[in-house]
Structure 1
Amino acid sequence: MAEHIVVIGAGYAGLAAAKLAARWTDARVTLVNERDRFVERVRLHQLAAGQRLRELPLADLLGGTGVELVVDRVTGIDADTREVRLTGGALTYDRLVYALGSRTDLGVPGAAEHAHSVSTAEDAEALAGALRTARAVTVVGGGLTGIEAAAELAESRPDLAVLLVTGGRFGAALSAKGARHVRAAFDRLGVRVRDHATVAEVRADGLLLGTGEHLPADAVVWTAGFRVPGLAREAGFEVDAHGRLVVDETLASVSHPEVVGVGDAAAIRRPDGLELRMACATGLPTAQQAVRALASRLAGREPRPVRFRYVNQCVSLGRRDGLIQFTRADDSPVERVLTGRAAARYKELVVRGTVLFERHPALPVG
Structure 2
Amino acid sequence: MTDHIVVLGAGYAGLAAAKRAAARLRRTAARVTLVNASSRFVERVRLHQLAAGRRLAELPLAGLLGGSSVELVVARATGIDLAERTVRLDGPPYELRYDVLVYALGSGSGGEAVPGVREHAYPLATADEALRLRARLAETGSVTVVGGGLTGIEAAAELARPGLRVELLTTGVAGPGLSARARGHIRRSLALMGVAVREHAPVAKLGPGTLLLDDGTELPAETVVWAAGFAVPALAADAGLAADGHGRMLVDASLRSLSHPDVFGAGDAAAADRRGRTARMSCQTGLPMGRYAGEAVADLLTGREPRTARFRFVWQNVSLGRRDGVTQFTRADDTPLDAVMTGRASAAFKEAVTRSTVWFLRHPR
Normalising by the smaller structure, the TM-score range is over 0.9
- Asked whether the equivalents of residues 7 and 102 of structure 2 are also in contact (C-alpha less than 8 Å), the reply is yes
| Structure 1: distance between partners of 2:229 and 2:175 | 16
Give the 5 Å matches for 1:18-37.
Answer: 18-25=18-25, 26=28, 27-37=30-40
- Asked whether the equivalents of residues 330 and 336 of structure 2 are also in contact (C-alpha less than 8 Å), the reply is yes
Compute the displacement of 1:215 (Å): 1.4
Match of 1:139 among 116, 136, 145: 145
Unaligned residue ranges in structure 1 (runs of 5+): none
Matched, 1:250 2:254: yes
Residue of structure 1 in register with 2:65 after alignment: 62
Match of 2:171 among 167, 170, 184: 167
Residue of structure 2 in register with 1:321 after alignment: 324
Residue of structure 2 in register with 1:290 after alignment: 293
What secondary structure does 1:309 align onto? coil
Compute the displacement of 1:354 (Å): 1.0
What secondary structure does 2:277 align onto? coil
Residue of structure 2 in register with 1:240 after alignment: 244
| Structure 1: distance between partners of 2:135 and 2:208 | 16
Compute the displacement of 1:153 (Å): 0.3
Residue of structure 2 in register with 1:129 after alignment: 135
- Asked whether the equivalents of residues 150 and 175 of structure 2 are also in contact (C-alpha less than 8 Å), the reply is no
| Structure 2: distance between partners of 1:93 and 1:15 | 17
Compute the displacement of 1:198 (Å): 1.6
Compute the displacement of 1:293 (Å): 1.7
Cα pair distance change 1:176/1:273, threshold 3 Å: closer
| Structure 1: distance between partners of 2:10 and 2:218 | 40
Matched, 1:194 2:198: yes
Compute the displacement of 1:286 (Å): 1.8
Unaligned residue ranges in structure 2 (runs of 5+): none
| Structure 2: distance between partners of 1:344 and 1:169 | 22
- Asked whether the equivalents of residues 15 and 290 of structure 2 are also in contact (C-alpha less than 8 Å), the reply is no
| Structure 2: distance between partners of 1:202 and 1:353 | 39
What secondary structure does 1:7 align onto? strand
Counterpart amino acid of residue 224 in structure 1: A
| Structure 2: distance between partners of 1:158 and 1:2 | 60
Matched, 1:332 2:338: no
Q: Tell me the TM-score normalized by structure 1.
A: 0.96
| Structure 2: distance between partners of 1:106 and 1:317 | 24
- Asked whether the equivalents of residues 16 and 294 of structure 2 are also in contact (C-alpha less than 8 Å), the reply is no
RMSD, aligned CA: 1.0
The alignment-based identity, stated in percent, is: 60
Residue of structure 1 in register with 2:4 after alignment: 4
- Asked whether the equivalents of residues 19 and 294 of structure 2 are also in contact (C-alpha less than 8 Å), the reply is no
> Structure 1, residues 190-249: CA drift from partner, whole Å, max 9, x if none?
000011112111112031112222211221001111110001111111111110111111
| Structure 2: distance between partners of 1:100 and 1:64 | 24
| Structure 2: distance between partners of 1:309 and 1:42 | 20
| Structure 2: distance between partners of 1:151 and 1:169 | 16
- Asked whether the equivalents of residues 315 and 334 of structure 2 are also in contact (C-alpha less than 8 Å), the reply is yes
Give the 5 Å matches for 1:109-120.
Answer: 109-120=115-126
Matched, 1:149 2:152: no
Residue of structure 2 in register with 1:184 after alignment: 188
Matched, 1:227 2:231: yes
Give the 5 Å matches for 1:291-306.
Answer: 291-306=294-309
- Asked whether the equivalents of residues 317 and 328 of structure 2 are also in contact (C-alpha less than 8 Å), the reply is yes
| Structure 1: distance between partners of 2:71 and 2:178 | 42
**Greater shift in the superposed pair: 22-31 or 144-153:** 22-31
Counterpart amino acid of residue 284 in structure 2: A
- Point out 4+ residue stretches in structure 1 off by more than 6 angstroms: none
Counterpart amino acid of residue 5 in structure 1: I
- Asked whether the equivalents of residues 147 and 171 of structure 2 are also in contact (C-alpha less than 8 Å), the reply is yes
Matched, 1:98 2:103: yes
Compute the displacement of 1:173 (Å): 2.0
| Structure 1: distance between partners of 2:218 and 2:51 | 25
> Structure 1, residues 323-365: CA drift from partner, whole Å, max 9, x if none?
0011111111111110000000000001111111111112xxx
- Asked whether the equivalents of residues 189 and 320 of structure 2 are also in contact (C-alpha less than 8 Å), the reply is yes
- Asked whether the equivalents of residues 102 and 293 of structure 2 are also in contact (C-alpha less than 8 Å), the reply is no
